[in-house]
Chains A and B, each alone.
Chain A
C-alpha cells in the first residue's frame, strides 16, 4: 500500500517534469521575450494629424517632401468653383537628423510666409520591463511673413521683429492598432501685435485617428484658444480628414475652417466659422525618400 502511494507520487512527478519540457517555448517566452521592451510604432501615419503636427518624427536620414493645399471657402459658391479657385500652397522639406530629431523648412503662399521648425521626440510609448504610456514630442517653429503692406508696395517689411514663435508639446497614445489620440498644449508668441492684443496666445489642442482599414484612417483635430482676443476675435481651428496610404505616399484630404497650414496661423488667426460653412477643402501629400 505504502509502496503504491510512493509509486503514484513518483509517476506524477515524472509526468510533471515531462510537461515542463514540452513547455520549453513558454518558459523561453516568459523569461526573455515577454520582458523585452517594445515601442508603439506608427501612432499616426503622417507627421501631421491634419493642420498640426503629430508626435511622429522622420526616421534618421530620411527626407520628406510635403505639398499642402488649402483652397478657398466652399461656401463662396459656384463662381469660385466652391473655393478651388483660391488655393494656398505650402511646399516643405523635412529631414530626420536622428530618429528623434526632425528639422523642416516651408514656404507658404498665404501671406508669403516662410517657416522653419524643429521637433524632438522626448519619450516613446513602450511596453515591457519599463512601461511608458505615452509618446511625447516637443515642437518649436519660427514663421516670418514677407507680404508687402498695401501702402508700402515698394518696401519689403521683413524682419525678426515680426517673427512669430510657436511651441507645442505633443502627447499621444496609441490605444490600439486602430485608435490613437493626442493632446497638444500650445504657446504662440507674436513679437508684433495690434494694440490691446496679447503677445502670447495659449491654446489646447486635441486630435486623433481611427483606422478604418490597414491603409485608410479617419482623423479629427481641434485647437481651443485659452485667451482669445476680445478686440479682434478669431475662431478655434476645427479639422476633419482622411489619411490614405499607398506605399511611399500618404495622402491626407480634409475639411477645415483654417486657411493657414502652420501653427501661428491656424491656432491664432483662423477666421472661418466651421458651422456656418466657412470650410476649406485641403490636402497634404507626402513623399518620403530614404
Chain B
C-alpha cells in the first residue's frame, strides 16, 4: 500500500514539474482553393496553439475574422455569408499525435507524426486525421501539416448563383512555430 502511495506521489510531482508545453500565438493557417473563376486565398497569422510533448496532445484555436483576403469584398462575404463569423466566431482543433520515434525536445530533429482529433468549424465538429511534421530546435517546435476539407461537411452553404466562384474542397495549410512555455 505504501509503495502505491509513493508511486502516486511521484506521478503527481512529475505532472506538476514537467516543462513540456509549447505555445504559439502567431501560427499561420492558409485556406486555398482553386475555382473556375477565381482562386480563394485566405491567410490567418494569429493562430493560437498549445503543444504538449509528454502527453502528445495539441490544441489549436483561431478567430474566423482574422483570415485576411486580398479582396476586401471576398473577406466580407466569407465572414457574413459563408462562415457566419458573428454566430461562429472561432474555429478549433484538439487532438493527439503519434510519432514512431520518441520525440526528444533537447535534440534537434524532424519527426513525422500522425494527428487525430476533432476539427470544429462553422459550429460543426468532425473527426479528422492527417499527417504532419514536427521539427524540434532549441526551445522550439515547428508543426507543419496540410490537409483538405470539404465545405459541405461543415454545413457551409453556397448559393447556386456563385457556385462557379467557389470550390467545394479547400486546402488547409498549417504552420505553427511553438516555443517553450515559460512560467
| Known contacts A42-B80, A214-B81; A14/B50 CB under 8 A | no
Top 6 A-B residue pairs of the complex, sorted by shortest distance between their CB atoms: A59-B72, A25-B59, A24-B59, A32-B48, A25-B94, A177-B86
Interface residues of A (CB under 8 A from B): 3, 6-7, 10-11, 13-14, 17, 21, 24-25, 27-29, 31-33, 36, 38-39, 41-42, 59-60, 62, 176-177, 214-215, 246-248, 288, 290
- Residues of chain A lying within 8 A (CB to CB) of residue B15: 14, 17
Report which of B1, B62, B159, B165 forms a contact with A33, defined as CB distance below 8 A: B62
Cα A215 to Cα B161 in complex, Å, equals: 12
> Given contacts A7-B8, A14-B12, are A28 and B73 in contact (CB under 8 A)?
no
What residues of chain B lie closer than 8 Å to A247, measured between beta carbons?
Answer: 77, 161-162, 165
Q: State the CA gap A31–B11 with chains docked (Å).
A: 27
Contact status A215-B11, CB under 8 Å: no
- 13 A-B residue pairings within 8 Å (CB atoms): A7-B5, A17-B12, A21-B55, A27-B59, A31-B48, A32-B25, A33-B90, A36-B46, A41-B65, A42-B79, A246-B161, A247-B165, A290-B72
Q: How far is the CB of A167 from chain B (nearest CB, A)?
A: 27
For B9, list chain A residues within 8 Å (CB).
Answer: 10
Cα of A41 to Cα of B72 in the assembled complex, Å: 11
Expressed in whole angstroms, the minimum distance between the Cβ of A194 and any Cβ of chain B is 45
A39 touching B65, Cβ below 8 Å: yes
**Pairwise interchain contact B61-A25, C-beta atoms closer than 8 A:** yes
CB pair A28–B59 under 8 Å, yes or no, is yes
Closest to A127 in B: B89
- B42-62 vs A, Cβ < 8 Å mask (1 yes, 0 no): 000010111010010111111
B5 touches A10 (CB 8 A): yes
Contact among A14, A27, A29, A60 with B8 in the assembled complex (CB-CB below 8 Å): A14
**Chain B residue at smallest Cβ distance from A10:** B8
Given contacts A33-B61, A36-B63, A38-B63, contact A24 B72 (CB under 8 A): no
A13 to B16, CA, bound (A): 11
B71 adjacent to A290 (CB under 8 Å): yes
Q: State whether A214 touches B80 (Cβ < 8 A).
A: yes
* Residues in A neighbouring B85, C-beta threshold 8 A: 41
The reply to whether the CB of B87 lies closer than 8 angstroms to some CB of chain A is yes
Tally of B interface residues using CB under 8 Å: 46
Take A10-B9, A177-B84 as given contacts and tell me if A28 and B50 are in contact as well, using a CB distance cutoff of 8 Å: yes
Q: Hey, which bits of chain B sit against chain A, CB under 8 A?
A: 1-2, 4-5, 8-9, 11-12, 15, 25, 46, 48-50, 52, 55, 57-63, 65-66, 70-73, 76-77, 79-81, 84-87, 89-90, 92, 94, 159, 161-162, 165
- In the complex the two chains form, what is the Cα distance from A10 to B65 in whole Å? 43
Question: Once the chains bind, are A24 and B57 in contact (CB under 8 Å)?
Answer: yes
Contact A42 B76 (CB under 8 A): yes
Residue among A7, A25, A42, A177 having the largest count of chain B Cβ atoms under 10 Å? A25
Residues of B within 8 A of A176 (CB): 86
Would you give the shortest CB distance from B18 to chain A, in whole angstroms?
11
User: Knowing that A11-B8, A28-B61, A33-B90 are A-B contacts, what are 17 other residue pairs whose CB atoms are under 8 Å apart, sorted by A's residue number?
Assistant: A3-B1, A3-B5, A10-B12, A17-B12, A17-B15, A21-B57, A24-B50, A24-B59, A28-B59, A38-B63, A38-B65, A41-B80, A177-B80, A177-B87, A215-B81, A246-B161, A247-B161
Compute how far the CA of A41 lies from the CA of B84 in the bound complex, rounded to whole angstroms: 11
When distances are taken between beta carbons in the complex, the residues of chain B under 8 Å from A24 are 50, 52, 57-59, 94
Nearest to A41 among chain B residues (CB) is B79
Complex Cα gap A255–B85 (Å): 32
B4 nearest in chain A by CB position: A7
Give the residues in chain B near A60, CB-CB below 8 Å: 72
CA distance A248 to B165 in the complex (A): 12
Q: Could you tell me the distance between the alpha carbons of A60 and B72 in the complex, rounded to whole angstroms?
A: 8
List A contacts of B63 (CB < 8 A): 33, 36, 38
Q: Chain B residues with Cβ under 8 A from A38's Cβ?
A: 63, 65, 89
B157 to chain A, nearest CB (A): 9
Residue of B nearest to A58 (CB): B72
Residues of chain A lying within 8 A (CB to CB) of residue B162: 247
When C-beta atoms are compared, the residue in chain B nearest to A177 turns out to be B86
Is the Cβ of B61 less than 8 Å from the Cβ of A32? yes
Closest chain B CB from A27 CB (angstroms)? 7
